[in-house]
Amino acid sequence: MPENLLKRFWIERYNEQNPMITFKNVSKRYPDGYIALNNVELEVESGEMVFLTGHSGAGKSTLLKLIAAIERPTSGVIAISGQNIAQLKSAAIPYLRRKIGFIFQDHKLLFDRNVFENVLLPLQISDFDNNTAMSRVRAALDKVGLLKKEKVMPITLSGGERQRLCIARAVVHRPAILIADEPTGNLDIEYARDIMAMFKSFNQVGVTILIATHDASLLDDTQHRILSLKQGKLAA
């Protein structure tokens, strides 16, 4: 079964010696000619938690999408635990994405499915057996405090609750890397701190985390590394 072979391939390629995420000379030019990233150099160690800031349009989302091969680089090398994903065949991309939990800036929730079913989706796509899947979904919902709302449709959730639903879906399959694009956008400071605490607890169990935000208040009291993007270039 090719699926198995691909999984094993990933596990074998997984190498503690390599940084979790490496960008070498990465540029991204969109089809309309706009250069969103310009010669970005970046390393994120396994188990690190890193913030990515920058003005609107600086290229934060673009950089995060490159990691999950949602966008492909125009030039340069992107490696995830030593594996160059710029050369990844499209059939292998799903297995890269399953290593990553992605919290999208525009949420990407399914509004015709309830909370539980939304969180179940990442497990369904990777052929989890039913019982394991059920208990994992409940565990993830419990972690973000949405267990009581598992039957509710996402349309009725508040902004903060939706954000937490996105987090539950991103962590339910226990990814090695968690990527969050503006996870606290539009949320008041109380909610935002709540969510940051959640990320910290994930990081404490070894998950590599990359968070894009322009919310300066989140960054004031952090000891974590902060990368700053300006016009597609990474400032020192």
Partner 1 sequence: MMRAWLTQHGFVFFHTLKRLASTPVTTLLSITVMGIALSLPTGVYVLMENLQSISGQTAGSPQISLFLKQDASKEDIDKIQQRLQEDSRIVNYQFISKDSALIQLQQSSGLTDIAANLTYNPLPDAFVVHTRENTSDSLEQWKLTMQSWPEIAHVQFDSAWVDRLNVLLKLGRSVVLMLATLLSISIVAIMFNTIRLQILTKRDEIEISKLIGATDGFIQRPFLYFGAIQGLCGGITAWLIIAWGIDALNGELMPLTQLYGLEIQLRYLSLQDSISLLLFSAWLGWLGARISVASHLWQIEPE
Ligand X SMILES: Nc1ncnc2c1ncn2[C@@H]1O[C@H](COP(=O)(O)OP(=O)(O)OP(=O)(O)O)[C@@H](O)[C@H]1O
Binding site for ligand X (CB under 6 A): 30, 32, 34, 36, 54, 56-62, 105, 214
Nearer to ligand X, 85 or 137 (CB): 85
Query: CB burial class (10 A; 0-12, 13-18, 19+) of residue 6?
Result: middle
CB closer to partner 1 out of 131 and 223: 131
28 binds partner 1 (CB under 8 A): no
In the complex with ligand X, the residue whose CB is nearer, 85 or 123, is 85
* Segment contacting Mg ion by CB under 5 A, of 79-87, 103-111, 136-144, 227-235: 103-111
Of the candidate spans 99-107, 176-184, 191-199, 215-223, the one that interacts with partner 1 by CB under 8 A turns out to be 99-107
Q: Which stretch binds partner 1 (CB under 8 A): 94-102, 159-167, 177-185, 203-211?
A: 94-102
Closest to partner 1 by CB, 121 or 147: 121
Residue 61 sits in the site that holds Mg ion (CB under 5 A): yes
Q: Between 114 and 143, how does the x/- string for binding to partner 1 read (CB under 8 A)?
A: -------xx-xxxxxxx-------------
CB of 189 to partner 1, least distance (A): 29
Could you tell which of partner 1, ligand X, Mg ion, none binds residue 70, using a CB distance below 5 to 8 A set by kind? Answer: partner 1
